[in-house]
């Protein structure tokens, strides 16, 4: 009916008769408006004297309750679909296989963010994806195989140390005999937001001081163009470095 009325001047008498007919069939105002393109105020005026049966009132009430209950879930589902679409589109923006330089810098910046700043080239994390990438990156960039790497665990007392070592060996190929002494965290009553089922593993590369300098140089080369700006701002805020260190009592 909407299509028929859309192309001509609205005949309100005809629309009113059709609205009354639909109301007597038990339809809600919103259901009627899907078929008759008029304002809700017009329907209210036309239909205020048309009573609904008890069965129709019960049906509309139950439908409204279902809509209210479904609302948050529908919004959640809609957002999940949006996020899925964003991820799928973004994944297509990455062309595989990565070039050697891209792969090298990806690992270099990962190490810059997560790796140790001490002398030995090592990195600790609990994410299997990150750890496996790091192990394979070391082999591809530096030619050091997993069997020559060292590892240490950081776990909780209730965890099975041997099984966790076997998990990381299965994932990375680092022999269990290459694992050093694990650090077992003392029991705590504090709330843990995330369960680290595999503990935290630290991957260590023996005799690797020069590797750390090379990775540092790669990241510095990429950031060279912003270096002058950073030095200028740091000079302007030199006073921040003059703040005395806290004293441990």
Residue 205 lies in a domain: yes
Residues 174, 211, single domain; the answer is yes
- In this prediction, the residues of the chain whose per-residue pLDDT falls under 50 are 1-8
* Burial track 113-149 (b if 16+ CB lie within 10 A, e otherwise): eebeeeeebbbbbeeeeebeebbebbeebbebebeeb
> End-to-end distance of the chain based on CA atoms, in angstroms?
84
Residues 151, 110, single domain; the answer is yes
Residues 78, 155, single domain; the answer is no
Burial of 89 (C-beta count, 10 Å sphere; 0-12/13-18/19+) = exposed
Residues 88, 112, single domain; the answer is no
User: Tokens representing 241?
Assistant: 């470095």
pLDDT at site 248: 63
pLDDT at site 103: 97
pLDDT at site 141: 97
What SS3 state is found at 137? helix
Provide the residue range defining the domain that includes 19: 2-51
Token match 């070039």: residue? 99
pLDDT at site 7: 42
Residues 88, 128, single domain; the answer is no
User: Tokens representing 176?
Assistant: 């269990």
Residue 247 lies in a domain: no
Residues 135, 35, single domain; the answer is no
pLDDT at site 6: 45
Residue 248 lies in a domain: no
Phi, psi (degrees; rounded to nearest 5) at 234: -65, -40
Residues 34, 121, single domain; the answer is no
The whole-model pTM stands at: 0.67
The count of domains in the chain is: 3
């Amino acid at each position: 009916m909407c299509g028929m009325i859309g192309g001509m001047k609205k005949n309100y008498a005809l629309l009113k008769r059709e609205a009354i007919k639909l109301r007597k069939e038990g339809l809600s105002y919103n259901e009627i408006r899907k078929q008759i393109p008029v304002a809700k105020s017009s329907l209210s005026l036309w239909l205020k004297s048309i009573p609904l049966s008890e069965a129709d009132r019960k049906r509309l009430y139950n439908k409204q309750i279902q809509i209210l209950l479904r609302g948050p879930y529908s919004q959640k589902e809609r957002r999940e679909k949006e996020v899925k679409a964003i991820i799928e589109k973004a994944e297509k923006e990455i062309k595989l296989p990565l070039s050697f330089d891209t792969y090298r810098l990806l690992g270099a910046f990962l190490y810059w963010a997560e790796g140790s700043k001490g002398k030995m080239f090592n990195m600790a994390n609990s994410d299997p994806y990150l750890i496996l990438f790091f192990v394979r990156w070391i082999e591809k960039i530096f030619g050091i195989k997993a069997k020559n790497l060292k590892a240490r665990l950081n776990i909780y007392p209730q965890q099975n140390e041997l099984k966790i070592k076997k998990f990381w060996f299965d994932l990375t190929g680092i022999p269990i005999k290459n694992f050093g002494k694990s650090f077992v965290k003392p029991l705590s009553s504090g709330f843990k937001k995330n369960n680290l089922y595999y503990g935290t593993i630290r991957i260590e590369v023996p005799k690797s001081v020069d590797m750390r300098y090379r990775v540092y140089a790669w990241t510095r080369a990429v950031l060279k163009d912003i270096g002058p700006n950073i030095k200028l701002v740091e000079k302007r805020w030199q006073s921040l470095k003059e703040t005395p260190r806290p004293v441990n009592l």
